[in-house]
Amino acid sequence: MLRVQGLFAGYDGGTVLHDIDLEVPAGTVQALVGRNGAGKSTLVHAVAGLLRPYRGIVSVDGAQLAGKPAHRVARAGVGLVPQGRRVFPRLTVSEHLTLAATVRRRGTAQTGPRWTIPEVLELLPRLAERLGHRGNQLSGGEQQMLAIARALLTQPRVLLLDEPGEGLAPDLAARVRELVTRLAGAGLCVLLVEQQLQHAIEVADRIAVLDYGRLVFADSTAAVRADPAPVEAVLSVAGAATPAGIGPVPSGQESTAPTGPDSTRSGPTGGPGTLVPGSNSSADPRSAPTTSSSAPAP
Ligand SMILES: Nc1ncnc2c1ncn2[C@@H]1O[C@H](COP(=O)(O)OP(=O)(O)OP(=O)(O)O)[C@@H](O)[C@H]1O
């Protein structure tokens, strides 16, 4: 189980993510949707240890990970398929896989599937035909497959996928979604960032919506499929060019609970089908942050 609780994070002392609560049980896919700049990648980075949260909890099966560096988070069982794939241009496919396979999990018992290079190649046969090719010789789809293979070889219990279908041909993107379903079926907790609500509906068990750095909606996919209007309303607000913006670090950073509007927090999944209380509704042009504290950057 991946648990995120009361998470605040941002850049250079400014706050992008406000009081995020999310739980992803093993064997399920949690989709995260939201407009450009809503904070989706920031959340993924904060979970993966690439960005140190200002405060809040990130845990995997009870092990606290918030604030730990990315390599420790990876060893604790969190695999990342970053947006843009980020493969090494000069390393071959084979070298990428070998390197990833050397990341060993420490300090926790192995649960879920344990991937070997042959198994990963069986899952992604295209890579088997490209073992000697360097990263910069791969197509976008092949790079995506490599990024997924590399993440699996770190033996994750939690897989974070940041827009894995971005830039792929529709049929390849659909194959990636099928793969995501299979991986959840194998017992992984999957947090999937998706731009397209329809794609999220296809693959996810639950759907959460980030807007202006706040979790404004969370419910089962079945509920969203039955009534997508609340999610569509958030995603389609005019003026989407205004991103989350970076506000100041929340005041009272050192205190145990946030104050002001942010303190109205829903349960971990935000409650059934509701726009999360305490967040601004999609109809409100919102201002980012609540205070102008000058708390220090992390
Ligand atoms: N490294 C950074 N330094 C400063 N600000 C950043 C950085 N990365 C992102 N931001 C800002 O944080 C906010 C959220 O960005 P983020 O990339 O998390 O959004 P997103 O929802 O993933 O967007 P997209 O769908 O366009 O990828 C934006 O205002 C963005 O400009």
Query: 10 C-alpha to center of ligand 1: Å?
Result: 9
Residue 34 CB–ligand 1 contact under 6 Å: yes
Can you say how many angstroms the Cα of residue 220 is from the centroid of all Cα atoms in its chain?
17
The DSSP symbol for 149 reads H
Of 16, 50, 166, 287, best ligand 1 pocket probe by most atoms within 8 Å of the beta carbon? 16
Q: What is the pLDDT of residue 105?
A: 54
Residue 244 CB–ligand 1 contact under 6 Å: yes
Query: 93 C-alpha to center of ligand 1: Å?
Result: 29
- The model scores a pTM over 0.90: no
Instruction: Give the H/E segment covering residue 15.
Output: strand 14-24
Atom of ligand 1 nearest to the CA of 34: 21
Terminal-residue alpha carbon distance, the chain: 26
ipTM over 0.90: yes
> How does strand 214-220 pair with strand 206-211?
antiparallel
Kindly list the domain boundaries of the chain, sorted by start residue: 2-92+156-275
Q: Across the 298 residues of the chain, what is the mean pLDDT of every consecutive 10-residue run? A: 97 96 97 96 96 96 94 91 86 94 60 79 90 93 90 92 87 88 92 94 96 96 96 76 47 35 34 42 33 31
In CATH terms, the superfamily for domain 2-92+156-275 is P-loop containing nucleotide triphosphate hydrolases (3.40.50.300)
Q: What is the pLDDT of residue 43?
A: 97
Q: What is the pLDDT of residue 290?
A: 33
Of 17, 42, 234, best ligand 1 pocket probe by most atoms within 8 Å of the beta carbon? 42
> How does strand 189-193 pair with strand 29-33?
parallel
Distance CA 188, CA 183 (A): 6
